Amino acid sequence: MAKSMTIYLRVWRQAGPEAPGRLVDYTVADANEHMSFLELLDVLNEQLIHRGEDPVEFDNDCREGICGSCGVMVGGIAHGPQQRTAVCQLHMRAFKDGDRIVVEPFRAKAFPIVKDLVVDRSAFDRIIAAGGYVSTTTGGAPDANALPVSKEAADEAMDYAACIGCGACVAACPNASASLFTAAKIAHLALLPQGSIEAPQRAVAMVDQMTAEGFGDCSNHAECEAVCPKGISVHGITRMRREYIKAVLR
Amino acid sequence: MSGRNNSIWQALVSPVGRKVLTGLTGLGLVLFVIVHMLGNLTYLQGGDAYNLYAHKLASYGVLLYMLEIGLAAFFAVHAYIGINIYLRKRRARGGRYNTYKTAGKPSRQSWASRTMILSGVVLLVFLVLHLMHFKFGPGVAEGYVVAVDGAEIRDLRRLMTEKFQSPLYAFGYPAVIVLLGFHLRHGFWSALQSLSFTSPRWNAVLYALGAAIGLIVGTGFIIVPLWIYFSQFN
Ligand code: HEM
Ligand code: FES
């Protein structure tokens, strides 16, 4: 039988982008260890709806750790205390009965709060639009083996391609830097032959956009890697820097 | 994709360029503090060793002058960008977190990494005082002079001895040096990462090397003042 738990939440409530926000205390008495953290919020929301209150807004979609929609600060850590786990995959067994948990939105100037725990991450889309694409032919599917890629490059590119763009790196970074996200995209494409056509401009265009969005600088705290649900390595950031320097010296 | 817009200047003020400059100047300053620390240790040899070392340095004339200008430029660029990064980060966060914690390894966030701006600014203020007290402090004209092999040279050893016999200097100086040690603890690895010299294979070693450098440089600088202070009592 699932162990029943009582969880004391302090949740950031904010009615709209310009409205003042504050932390509000809620008790969820009928939680259990098999719930995901988002299901805990669902249970809380049912309580709120029954009481005629506004439910807590939070982003989510796949609930299986692959879409990158979800993401909140749980107890001061982006996606919560369990590493390599998006908050939709974080289960209540990671907590103890009676725990007090503060739930806040990802905070960055470039991620304005929409409502409660929902933030606008379209700054990431603009960074991608600035250079996170490749030129390719349309039509039938290309022959899988037409372009030779070494095993090492394919493996490392895949590690960077695992980025789901959730924004945890920005939220956890003491500087609110988007370096890990931007680097993951640049490194992924830089490692593959498909990315070579735009390579001379890509790093510069994407870094410029990242700067224009108002993200902070990277101080090499590497906190981003620790909270990344996909465990993307800060080595990608050195790849981004190399790509950038190569582009400038070219 | 916007074209190749980048002049070298635009590249240098970009987030990548800023870090390359912080890293390069930081490593230059690391080299400087290591040499300075080793120089100070000649005090412990006793006799004229320290004064001769200082005199030898001064005798390089124009060469030393150029090195000093370069060093001043390194400090200026490093401090300017460091402060700039700090100011940008404050703007970039927006609201404050009620609760914030590190997720632990592989994060390299530490007390040292979070206080780079504090240790840096203290070092900057200290640098000015330090230059006033020693480099531009009393010299031959004020009677701090000693004859070595018939030549009259500046008696820096006496100046140093007098200064560090006061508890303010003897303990204030090590306090600043402890902060320098922390600055290097995060700074050494950070500079290598900024310059893209790191690789997953070597990161653990390089990060540990940063701690070793911080500890060795810190200890080397602290020994002499404490030795001077406590020697006056026996
Ligand atoms: C003896 C003097 C100094 C040494 C040896 C030194 C060394 C270093 C090194 C190696 C780094 C890492 C560079 C990087 O992350 O790329 C660094 C970073 C930093 N230094 Fe210094 N530094 C010194 C003085 C100063 C001064 C005077 C300031 C003045 C404010 C300062 C502020 C900073 C800051 C804020 C950072 C972090 C940069 C960031 O967040 O990315 N440092 N320092
Ligand atoms: S909801 Fe899709 S990753 Fe969490």
Would the pLDDT of B5 be above 70? no
B56-100 per-position pLDDT tens digit: 999 998 999 999 999 999 999 999 999 999 999 999 998 999 999
Domain ranges of chain A: 4-115, 121-249
Map residue B147 onto helix, strand or coil: strand
Q: What's the pLDDT at B164?
A: 97
User: Which residue from A227, A190, A218 is spatially nearest to A79, judged by alpha carbons?
Assistant: A227
% helix / strand / coil in chain A, to the nearest 5? 40, 15, 45
B2-93+114-231: in CATH 1.20.1300: yes
Q: What's the pLDDT at B2?
A: 52
Percent of chain B surpassing pLDDT 90: 91
Q: pTM score, two decimals?
A: 0.94
Query: In this structure, are residues A205 and B2 in contact, taking their beta carbons and an 8 Å threshold?
Result: yes
- Tokens 């390069």 correspond to B24
Q: Which residues line ligand 1 (CB under 6 A)?
A: A 217, 219-220; B 19, 22-23, 26-27, 29-30, 33, 75, 78-79, 82-83, 85-86, 116-117, 120-121, 123-124, 183, 187-188, 190-191, 194
State the distance from the centre of ligand 2 to the C-alpha of A39, rounded, in angstroms.
Answer: 12
Separation between Cα atoms, residue B132 and residue B143, nearest integer Å: 17
Using a CB–CB cutoff of 8 Å, tell me whether A225 touches chain B: yes
- What is the topology classification, in CATH, of domain A121-249? Fumarate Reductase Iron-sulfur Protein; Chain B, domain 2 (1.10.1060)
**pLDDT one digit per residue (tens) for chain A, 250 residues:** 677 999 999 999 999 999 999 999 999 999 999 999 999 999 999 999 999 999 999 999 999 999 999 999 999 999 999 999 999 999 999 999 999 999 999 999 999 999 999 999 999 999 999 999 999 888 888 888 888 999 999 999 999 999 999 999 999 999 999 999 999 999 999 999 999 999 989 999 999 999 999 999 999 999 999 999 999 999 999 999 999 999 988 8
A4-115: in CATH 3.30.930.10: no
Using a CB–CB cutoff of 8 Å, tell me whether B106 touches chain A: yes
Backbone phi and psi for residue B233, each to the nearest 5 degrees, phi listed first? -95, -5
Count Cβ–Cβ pairs < 8 Å, chain A vs chain B.
Answer: 174
A121-154 per-position pLDDT tens digit: 999 999 999 999 999 888 888 888 888 999 999 9
User: Which residue from A63, A51, A60 is spatially nearest to A27, judged by alpha carbons?
Assistant: A51
Q: What's the pLDDT at A2?
A: 74
B165-206 per-position pLDDT tens digit: 999 999 999 999 999 999 999 999 999 999 999 999 999 999
